[in-house]
Amino acid sequence: MIRAVFLALLVCLAWPQTARAQVSVDAAPLRFVDDAEERRFHKLVAELRCVMCQNQSLADSNAQIAHDLRREVLDLMRAGRDDAAIKAHLVARYGEFVLYRPQVGPSTWLLWFGPLLLIVAGGVVIARIVMARRASTPLPPDDTETW
């Protein structure tokens, strides 16, 4: 029994060594019609987040889904959709996470205004501490008395 547990433990420890991540290679690079289309494409994919990677833009990610999404963005551009419609399409499929700058709404209020609330709360705490110390500190004697 102990041998079986020990063997299972060794297999579990060896498993991460055999499962290595591989970089995806785009089979066919994207071809642009003109420079304006290329600039628009790069601007748009820089504003979108890879749905697999935590903090990489669609432009920076090498994940296979990022390659697919870049191709989909280019197809949507060529279909005549504007940037807002492309972003709305991706948000409908993947949620607000796909946007680096999500819109202000009930589900994102904490994201947008949370840091401001923390700064205000910190200021209130510091002000109360300073006022409490001022109130508890005795005044120094007045040395201006003349003899």
Q: Output the domain CATH number for residue 56.
A: 1.10.8.640
Are residues 65 and 121 located together in one domain of the fold?
Answer: no
Establish if 115 belongs to a structural domain: yes
Q: Which domain holds residue 78?
A: 24-98
Bridge partners (DSSP) listed for residue 99: 48
pTM: 0.57
Q: Give the Cα separation of 23 and 62 in Å (integer).
A: 6
Place of tokens 């600039």: 39
Regions of the chain short of the pLDDT cut 50: 18-19, 21-24
Q: Give the Cα separation of 134 and 147 in Å (integer).
A: 31
Are 48 and 90 in contact by the 8 Å Cβ rule? The answer is: yes
pLDDT value for 62: 87
Are residues 72 and 43 located together in one domain of the fold?
Answer: yes
Are residues 32 and 91 located together in one domain of the fold?
Answer: yes
Closest Cα partner for 10 from 34, 18, 75, 117? 18
Are residues 118 and 94 located together in one domain of the fold?
Answer: no
pLDDT value for 134: 87
Q: How many domains does the chain have?
A: 2
Are residues 59 and 109 located together in one domain of the fold?
Answer: no
Are residues 30 and 92 located together in one domain of the fold?
Answer: yes
Are 47 and 57 in contact by the 8 Å Cβ rule? The answer is: yes
Are residues 28 and 86 located together in one domain of the fold?
Answer: yes
pLDDT value for 28: 64
pLDDT value for 18: 47
Are 19 and 70 in contact by the 8 Å Cβ rule? The answer is: no
Are residues 86 and 112 located together in one domain of the fold?
Answer: no
pLDDT value for 16: 60
Buried/exposed code over 100-110 (b: 16+ C-beta within 10 A; e: otherwise): eebeeeeeeee
